[in-house]
Amino acid sequence: MTEPLGALLTIGLWLDRPAGLRQVAEVLVAGGAHYTGRIAEGEPGKTFSWGFDLEGVGTVDGLPTEEVRRRAAAGRAYDLELDVPGAGPTSVTYGATPRAAEPPERHPVVIKMAADAWGIPRFAWADDDRHAAEALRPIVLRHLESLCTTLDPAYAVLGVEMLVPTPAALAEGESIGSDAYLSARFPVGPVEAAVALEWATGTFYSSWFLAEGPTTLPAAGKALAARLP
């Protein structure tokens, strides 16, 4: 599959309830995205750690939407390409599980799109970069909220070129990052962040994407991991 060009803005979901690429993609479609007809597919249930470990998975192009849906529902999809209005080509795929090879349902689901100005530090933004960032921000936030309130993952993270931490990694002290959604199903106590948005199923804490500031999210991530099954 061809990823969007340049640095990638990453949304990562840890889905502790039955869901996968198809369900994530369908939430994006409900929000206005559409399938391009390109998927990476192979036999269902392959065990892998990193996407580049996958053998017997190839790219198929030009599929009608209903055929994309059929193959995804059968578990054959390992990457789905969509076009998200205002954000461009977007990949819905599986994140890595660096500590062990796992079947698809034990991987985070990752959404990748071109970061554009968000791949540049704020202090280096020119006026055009600032305008581009401000145009993309509400699009990303709207889809992130829809994903979180529809699927209610245990947690979701937002960053640039981000390796989405697994619960095992969080338990060992890996950072959940500066911007994350935490489901209300797993309360972790007060969290400090520059901005906190209360959504129907949990809270999105941001100390980068919406505003910069100190955060206690890394400690909250470790506490959250201890509560996950």
pLDDT per position as a tens digit, 173-217: 999 999 999 999 999 999 999 999 999 999 999 999 999 999 999
Please give the share of the chain, as a percent, with pLDDT higher than 70. 98
Q: How confident is the model at residue 156 (pLDDT cuts 50, 70, 90)?
A: very high
Gap between the Cα atoms of 2 and 4, Å rounded: 7
Structural domain contains residue 146: yes
Structural domain contains residue 99: yes
Structural domain contains residue 88: yes
Domain that holds residue 161: 8-227
Gap between the Cα atoms of 24 and 20, Å rounded: 6
Q: How confident is the model at residue 1 (pLDDT cuts 50, 70, 90)?
A: low
Asked if the model's pLDDT at residue 2 lies above 80, the reply is no
Average pLDDT, the chain: 95
| 12-49 burial: b if 16+ Cβ within 10 Å, else e | bbbbbeebbbbbbbbbbeebebebbebbbbeeeebebe
Q: How confident is the model at residue 229 (pLDDT cuts 50, 70, 90)?
A: confident
Domain count, the chain: 1
